[in-house]
Structure 1
Amino acid sequence: MAAQCHKTKPTTKPIQMVNRDKEAVAVSATNRIQRCSSKSTERQRLQLHNRYALLTDPCFGAYSSITDLLFGFDEAILQSAFGVPEEIIGLMTNRTQPPLIVHDMLSTPGEANTYTWQLQPRLLKLFAGYVSAAEKKKKEKKTKKAKTFNVFESEPDFQSPNGRTITINRKDLEVLSGSMVGVSMVNLTQASMMGPHWNPWACEISIVLKGSGMVRVLRSSISSTSSSSECKNMRFKVEEGDIFAVPRLHPMAQMSFINESLVFIGFTTSARNNEPQFLAGQRSALRLLDQEVLAASLNVSSVMIEGLLGAQKDAVVLGCPYCAEGELDKLKVETEMKKRDDERKREEEEAKKEEEERRKREEEEEEEKQWPPLPQQPPE
């Protein structure tokens, strides 16, 4: 930024520059610029606040391999999500992962280009968040002109014996127009699960209103190939009053315990309509893909894919007995292993420090032997 000359006295108020057209993480940068006056040169602190897309962030990005999307979850979660026997999930997880680019055996050479152009819109819908015409019509009926919206009295977007969900955005509540905020509430009954899903356009920040449960979050395949420690698979327990956040494009699943329900409200930060994309069930985003393409991606037969996608008759909120308990047991094991690992590292650092101090003392003693001090001269 070039220096400019002003005769007026510079203000001490920080200057804020915010670009709201692009979404991402707010980054604050502090810099000093020089202002010229007729009498003297003064310096003033300038604060820049800019919002822009962090395309190089290792935690952001779509999946390059469908296996990363599926098998980051525990087998018990996948079994409940797809409604298939444990043996089917075991067979799929033990298959050799195919390369990212496979030979096209799905069409004849004359049909290859046509098939590819037909497939591209499906892939765009899969990751950008596709909403059917029927779902849009249902959401339009929920729109209100009032200044308040009672989530407990309103008709839910989805309801089953396993729980209910309701979503409110600027189309549902007029006062949200112009904002980048959406609100949703999820009520999971005992031994239930919000099916594995991801937000295509929004980061989700949730507050637990009632009960306790477990949350499983996966990192993206882009971050899995890097050495970044900031973005990794994780599981954690949440209780009443806890706040937790999940970045966009990170698959997640929330689970309630066998003896307790879980209620939480989430706030999404996005300038676009964010429609969660589910991994399994009747609303599975995988249904947008051709079954033969999906079979090639998972290195299984198309018959197995047909059974995998057709077995689960429920959607969104699924039954998952003892899934939360299983995640809690794994969390305890991971915590204990981390504690032991930290203790081992601490002992190694202490031993290394003691060794360095011992070596330093030996070097000092050796120097004293080789270079004795000069005898003191008697005073005159």
Structure 2
Amino acid sequence: MVQQGQENEEVEKEDEESGDDEEEQQQTSLPWRMLFKSVFGEEIKNTREKITEDPPRSYNLNKRKPDFENKYGWRVAVDGSQYHPLKSSGIGIYHEYLSAGSMMAPRVNPMATEYGIVVNGSGRVQVLFPNGSNAMDTNITKGDVFFIPSNFPYCEIAHKGESLELLGFTTSAQRNRPVVLVGARSVVRTMEGPELATSFGVSKEEIKHLVSAQHESVILPTP
């Protein structure tokens, strides 16, 4: 009986020690749980709320008013400021239409590379190296894909008997501001003066006549 009593006391003592260990573990782990919840709990909550408040949505290019339009064609461009998901991907999108025989004015993209896909029609793409030598001059038709590196002058021309429709993207989610080289909005028009005339070795009157010869801007007729 005495031995059995001693055994019972030992069991009770072990139970008390085990209970103390569990209580100590709970007390030790509690601050870590609170810390984890305070650091990550709010972040998870904010992420869930953001997904709920700002779900992905589609954007219809056909419903957007063209950024530029005249009787020779139009162009629509969408960047990250108009369609938020483009910011995370770092690209911009454009949709372009040229009537038969018209051309997109020669221009340079200083900020981004441009990729184009021929959706309808056929035409021609001309690209120059920055030094002015020919880089590419090729015919394009429905289904063709091409790209224009940044700082390479280029233009697209629709064939005389068929319009040209392009859909593509640029490697920048910011608003793309190409430098137009020909036409009423050309950078050369803003540089008109004696310095420009001297660089070409002609008179100021001659350079003015040359620069002002094209009255249209952005999308031009071809001869």
Kindly state the Cα deviation for residue 282 of structure 1 after the two structures are TM-superposed: 1.6
1:202 aligned residue: 112
2:169 aligned counterpart, secondary structure: strand
**TM-score normalized by the length of structure 2:** 0.70
Is 1:211 the counterpart of 2:113 in the alignment? no
How far apart, CA to CA, are the structure 2 residues paired with 1:190 and 1:203? Answer: 26
1:289 aligned residue: 191
Alignment of 1:230-241 (within 5 A): 232-241=134-143
Is 1:177 the counterpart of 2:79 in the alignment? no
Letter in 1 for 2:140: V
How far apart, CA to CA, are the structure 1 residues paired with 2:169 and 2:222? Answer: 25
Alignment of 1:357-376 (within 5 A): none
How far apart, CA to CA, are the structure 2 residues paired with 1:288 and 1:318? Answer: 19
1:159 aligned residue: 69
Letter in 2 for 1:190: A
Q: CA RMSD in A?
A: 2.0
Q: State which structure, 1 or 2, has the greater radius of gyration over its C-alpha atoms.
A: 2
Letter in 2 for 1:159: E
Q: Runs of 5+ in structure 1 lacking a partner? A: 1-144, 225-231, 322-380
Kindly state the Cα deviation for residue 311 of structure 1 after the two structures are TM-superposed: 2.5
How far apart, CA to CA, are the structure 2 residues paired with 1:308 and 1:316? Answer: 17
Is 1:190 the counterpart of 2:92 in the alignment? no
1:159 aligned counterpart, secondary structure: strand
Alignment of 1:55-74 (within 5 A): none
List per-residue Cα deviations over 1:158-182 (Å, max 9, x = no partner): 1111000111101121221233201
1:308 aligned counterpart, secondary structure: helix
- Identity across aligned pairs (percent)? 36
Letter in 1 for 2:124: M
Letter in 1 for 2:156: Q
Letter in 1 for 2:200: L
Letter in 1 for 2:204: S
How far apart, CA to CA, are the structure 2 residues paired with 1:154 and 1:211? Answer: 22
Alignment of 1:1-380 (within 5 A): 147-221=57-131, 232-270=134-172, 272-321=174-223
Letter in 1 for 2:101: A
Letter in 2 for 1:256: A
Aligned residues: 169
How far apart, CA to CA, are the structure 2 residues paired with 1:270 and 1:292? Answer: 36
1:330 aligned residue: none
List per-residue Cα deviations over 1:131-178 (Å, max 9, x = no partner): xxxxxxxxxxxxxx9832222221001111100011110112122123
1:233 aligned counterpart, secondary structure: strand
List per-residue Cα deviations over 1:99-136 (Å, max 9, x = no partner): xxxxxxxxxxxxxxxxxxxxxxxxxxxxxxxxxxxxxx
CA shift in 2, pair 1:308/1:146, >3 Å? farther
Q: Runs of 5+ in structure 2 lacking a partner? A: 1-54
How far apart, CA to CA, are the structure 2 residues paired with 1:153 and 1:169? Answer: 15
Kindly state the Cα deviation for residue 270 of structure 1 after the two structures are TM-superposed: 2.8
Kindly state the Cα deviation for residue 233 of structure 1 after the two structures are TM-superposed: 2.4
How far apart, CA to CA, are the structure 2 residues paired with 1:243 and 1:177? Answer: 24
Kindly state the Cα deviation for residue 245 of structure 1 after the two structures are TM-superposed: 0.6
How far apart, CA to CA, are the structure 2 residues paired with 1:308 and 1:147? Answer: 48
2:89 aligned counterpart, secondary structure: coil
295-304 or 160-169, which moves further after superposition?
Answer: 295-304
Letter in 2 for 1:300: V
Give the structure, 1 or 2, with the largest relative contact order (CA under 8 Å, sep 6 or more): 2
How far apart, CA to CA, are the structure 1 residues paired with 2:104 and 2:160? Answer: 14
